[in-house]
Structure 1
């Protein structure tokens, strides 16, 4: 019984979070060489996913903190962060000064709240999938799902960092990461808004 739930939890997590590996790889690439960046990214990923989990568990018990009509607007979070990253990349390229590079390095890459915001916004559809599964699993089954999910968040973080540090991928991300990160975030934001039908989009 428990092994069956664990297997289902692994499959459900993998299917609903496969795109997070790319985002994590981009975040880890952005934080390369910056002290404490990896720790902040992992913390942000856990914060964002913990909120997804909390909302899904609460909804399974009948408490709806996030109306269905509000879910599409979660796309505004990655969209805003993507536009911010694009502006920063354009500004850095325009100024091109060593002082600016030193200042950016001092920032230590993405903050935990930025990573958490992207994780939560990108997981808005996850909530809709998790709620019926949690509701039918009962309290004990939900506990197993939650534990497995939280363990797999660590596996996802490891995978994201692994891909970001492979020589070929690392070189590509070092060269194009400043363009890819805002592009991916803006695309995710627009997809969430459009697919969710925000304001009739």
Structure 2
């Protein structure tokens, strides 16, 4: 890479390219926080940072030649958002059958937000690892700093998207069904695209 400018540009492109789907997840999380669930915006920010930090740490460790989770089974992490979606759907069905309003919350705290971030970005490790293996310590630190800025921008974008009046109105009306469906869909997609089902069966 040509100097710090090249490193910053490459890191920014890599972060954006591997985390586009996180915008959807963050928007849903911020919407669910605004709908009055147990989740708070600060927990979403902290959980997103914690999740990305874990993904970066795993990538750095893998770049040093150590494997924490075999690549063939990383897709099983998709079960995390899928399970959160199922749990939220069950809560919505119970509330609906008893005539109560259900919160569309899927994640309920920092740990569950971090879990969703890790599961949704598990495939990022395969992109980050070879980069960290080849760019050296200084460029790795710059890349991690760019990722930290990227997380802030992503959270701000998710919060902004989740503050639109029309979006909020839709979520207030149908959120108890939309939110779990989104998370179940994301989880299923992670599992299917990883090919882990072929490894297991």
> Do both share a fold (TM > 0.5)?
yes
In 2, Cα distance between the equivalents of 1:135 and 1:76?
29
Change (3 A) 1:36 1:83: closer
- Matched with 1:89 is 92
Match of 1:169 among 155, 167, 170: 167
Identify unmatched segments of 5+ residues in structure 1. Answer: none
Mark the CA change 1:84 to 1:36 in structure 2 (over 3 Å): closer, same or farther.
closer
* Cα pair 1:41 1:110 within 8 Å, conserved: no
What CA distance in whole angstroms lies between the structure 2 residues aligned with 1:28 and 1:175? 16
Task: Please tell me the root mean square deviation across aligned C-alpha atoms, in Å.
Answer: 2.1
Distance across 1 between alignment mates of 2:26 and 2:172: 14
Match of 2:143 among 142, 145, 150: 145
Q: Does the CA contact (< 8 Å) of 1:71 and 1:196 recur in 2?
A: yes
Partner of 1:195: 193
Which of 41, 47, 50 is 2:50 aligned to?
A: 47
**Alignment match, 1:124:** 122
Q: Distance in 2 between matches of 1:96 and 1:27?
A: 24
- Residue 125 (structure 1) shift: 0.8
Contact map agreement 2:45 2:155 (CA 8 A) in 1? yes
* 2:68 alignment partner in structure 1: 65
Instruction: Give the whole-Å Cα distance in 2 for the aligned partners of 1:178 and 1:23.
Output: 15
Please, what TM-score do these two structures have when normalized by structure 2? 0.90
Query: TM-score, structure 1 length as denominator?
Result: 0.90
Q: Is the 8 A contact 2:35 2:172 kept in 1?
A: no
With 182-191 and 122-131 compared, the bigger mean Cα shift is at: 182-191
Q: How many residues align?
A: 196
Cα deviation code 1:129-160 (max 9, x no counterpart): 11111111111111111111011111111100
| Other structure's SS at 1:177 match | helix
Alpha-carbon deviations, 1:6-50, whole Å to 9, x = none? 111111111110111111111111111648710111111111111
Q: Distance in 2 between matches of 1:191 and 1:27?
A: 18
Relative to structure 1, the CA distance from residue 164 to residue 88 in structure 2 (aligned partners, 3 Å threshold; closer, same or farther) is same
Q: Are the equivalent residues in 2 in contact too, given 1:134–1:142 (CA < 8 A)?
A: yes
